[in-house]
Chains A and B, each alone.
Chain A
Amino acid sequence: MIELHDVSRIFTVGGQEVRAMDHVSLDIMPGEYLSIMGPSGSGKSTLLNIIGLLDTPNSGTYLLEGRDVTSLKDEELAAVRSRKIGFIFQFFHLIPRLTAVQNIELPLLLAGVSRKERTSVSTRLIEEFGLRGRHHHRPDELSGGQRQRVAIARAVINQPAVLLADEPTGNLDRTSGAEIIDLMEQLNKNGQTLVVVTHDPEIGERARRCIRVVDGRIASDTRMG
């Protein structure tokens, strides 16, 4: 479903080249649960951003569901992001002045979905994600774990082809972190393709496939049980 062929991403900072991704090739199948690990600055986030179409490679090709998305224009990129990609961030990135429901519905709002339809989907997600009674709470009235659950609900509301999480537990205590991982694994069990970047080996090793990135290259690609 996701096919990266020989993809490189080079940043030039002060005349110096930084190879954040160095000739990376990677295939991800539908329904897979994949973790990306590696030292800081190895290029994990860069890889995730390229998969999520927030960044474009300097060379190589990227096929998403068979479609070449390597060099799309802004409008097309945004449209693909809107329909195919769900993002989860370390710092939640909820909009502080919006309520939980409004945050969850944001992707549908941007996509021009009617209010009625939005409400019906978000109500279901709020139930599913254990956020009942929190509809109209603003982010600062929610716990860290609840915030991340709102963020996950927001990420999956448009039924994306792939859910991308960059250090989703990085800003949570152990128990809330575990809850979040459980929730994402539950989504994966229901068929959701899932890619998680993490520093935590305990979390990384729970995935059925684990990739190690070092210096912008894939150092190992292990499938478990």
Chain B
Amino acid sequence: MRPFDTIGFALISLGSNKVRTALMLLAMSIGVAAVVLLTGIGNGARLYIVDQFSSLGTNLVIVIPGRAETTSNTPATLVGQTPRDLTLEDATALERSDLVNRIAPINIGELSAVWHGKERKVPVIGSTAPLLQVHHLKLEQGSFLPEEDTEIARPVCVLGAKVYRELFGQNAALGELIKLGGFRCRVIGILGSEGRSLGLDTQELVIVPVAFAQMLFDTKGVFRILIEAKDQHSLERLKKHISRTISKRHYGEEDVTIITQDSILTTFNRIFKVLTLSVGGIAAISLVVAGILIMNVMLMSVSQRTAEIGLCKALGANNTQVMVLLVTEALLLSAIGGIIGLLLGFAGSWVIVQFYPTLQTTPPLWAVAAAMGTALCTGFVFSLLPARRAARLDPIQALARH
């Protein structure tokens, strides 16, 4: 039998029982649509996260004191010393490189901010002028931290929009003195009301010069150092340069962890890929359910079409041909149902994009292929049993029934 004729014959069979065919198509298409839609949403979430991180600049390197891996067996760890702090001198030393564009040492702590009797606990970040660019912050009023020697503990501060509102209400804040952890400092700027980066709400921040923060927190170290590379291609060289510089300064100890935005991004990427894959997998179960439905309906259809199958055999069809005919019917159901499902899925993700434009739910190509593949596979696998049953029918007995 010619392939084209086989398909035509199968289509006629499917068309002869429209309700049954429609039900099977519905089951198949819902399964495919679910896979497409869920993987689309998972992928959209992944892209959203990636986008959030990328907006921070992918050429950012973060230096943290202490080694993340517990592989070093240095005398320091043997005697149980805590790792050496990163210092402002370290930061200054790192800055002297062609590979570095900007550098911003950071200290973080929580202090109470007081103005005219109003008090509020706020996260305080100590840093330097380049933080504005490194963290893509927006300034609403006044100026950011002054460009001057990082060692100068000038008592000034920049307020997050929310902190400003809560302390000052409608009053002007620029030039005012607030008390920060018991020290007086002057408000020189107010941040814009947008932005959220690295897990901190910039609206709730108070930013002060890093040396002033060291005084406030009573520490000589820095929490971490943010370094913006000149370009993304020199990230690896920059990382080497950092570890060499630090270990030179730390008596041969490489006691820092160097993280790139890239590696964080890669981790998130991987997590969300796995997530997407698992929701897609769960949706694929509905495809298997559709496959079982197809199997049941086909078993029913085979027993209804016994005489016809016997007839085909009497007219010269062999067992393989009978099987191929029935499997073709199932594959057609899967293919048509799958295409309807794809359309439904794409329509659904389009609707989601209309409501949540930030979530780009376009399903990834692999998910589309996998959904179609699974649909065809289940159609194939679950039609084998009915097809075999049909092929084994004794034509004489099949024809005796009418």
Binding site for B on A (CB under 8 A): 49, 52, 54-55, 74-75, 77-79, 81-83, 85, 87, 89, 91, 93, 95-98, 102, 106-107, 109-112, 114-115, 154, 158
Contact = CB atoms under 8 A, between A and B. Distances in A.
Contact of B16 (A74, A91, A97): A97
B80 interface: no
B316 A95 contact: no
A93 B318 contact: no
A81 B1 contact: no
Nearest to A114: B2
Interface in B324-383: none
Contact of A154 (B9, B16, B315): B315
Given A54-B395, A89-B399, A95-B308, A81 B315 contact: yes
Contacts of B311: 93, 95
A170 B319 CA distance: 30
B396 A54 contact: yes
A79 B314 contact: no
A49 to B, nearest CB: 5
Contacts of A82: 315-317
A109 B316 contact: no
Given A74-B318, A95-B308, A55 B9 contact: no
B102 to A, nearest CB: 74
Contact of A54 (B2, B5, B313): B313
> Which of B16, B315, B319, B396 neighbours the largest number of chain A CB atoms within 10 Å of its CB?
B315
B25 to A, nearest CB: 18
Given A77-B318, A96-B16, A107-B316, 13 more contacts: A78-B313, A78-B317, A78-B318, A78-B321, A79-B316, A81-B315, A82-B316, A85-B314, A87-B314, A97-B16, A110-B321, A154-B315, A158-B316
Contacts of A114: 2
24 contacts: A54-B395, A55-B396, A74-B318, A74-B319, A82-B317, A83-B316, A85-B314, A85-B316, A87-B315, A96-B16, A97-B12, A97-B13, A97-B15, A97-B16, A106-B315, A107-B315, A107-B316, A109-B9, A110-B1, A110-B321, A111-B316, A112-B1, A114-B2, A158-B316
B315 A112 contact: no
Contact of B12 (A52, A54, A98, A158): A98
A26 B15 CA distance: 46
Nearest to A160: B316
Contacts of A106: 312, 315
A158 B320 CA distance: 21
B45 to A, nearest CB: 48
Contact of B5 (A75, A87, A97, A109): A109
Interface in B176-222: none
Nearest to B12: A97
Contacts of B396: 49, 54-55
Contacts of A107: 315-316
A130 B312 CA distance: 25
A158 B310 CA distance: 18
B15 A112 contact: no
Nearest to B305: A95
A54 B12 CA distance: 26
A81 B12 contact: no
A97 B315 CA distance: 17
Contact of A109 (B1, B15, B402): B1
Contacts of B9: 109
B312 A110 contact: yes
Nearest to A164: B314
Contacts of B5: 109, 112, 115
Contacts of B314: 52, 54, 81, 85, 87, 93
B307 interface: yes
Interface string B292-317: 00000000000000011011111111
Among B313, B318, B319, B402, the most chain A Cβ lie within 10 Å of the Cβ of B318
B160 to A, nearest CB: 74
Contacts of A74: 318-319
A140 B310 CA distance: 20
A77 to B, nearest CB: 8
Contacts of B13: 97
A100 to B, nearest CB: 14
Nearest to B2: A112
Contacts of A93: 307-308, 310-311, 314, 399, 402
Contacts of B16: 96-97
Interface in B132-165: none
A96 B307 CA distance: 11
A75 B318 contact: yes
Nearest to A95: B308
Nearest to A106: B315
A188 B260 CA distance: 91
A43 B317 CA distance: 25
Contacts of B395: 54
A95 B402 CA distance: 11
Interface string B1-24: 110010001001101100000000
Contacts of A110: 1, 312, 315-317, 321
A34 B308 CA distance: 28
A106 B317 CA distance: 10
A136 B73 CA distance: 89
Contacts of A95: 308, 311
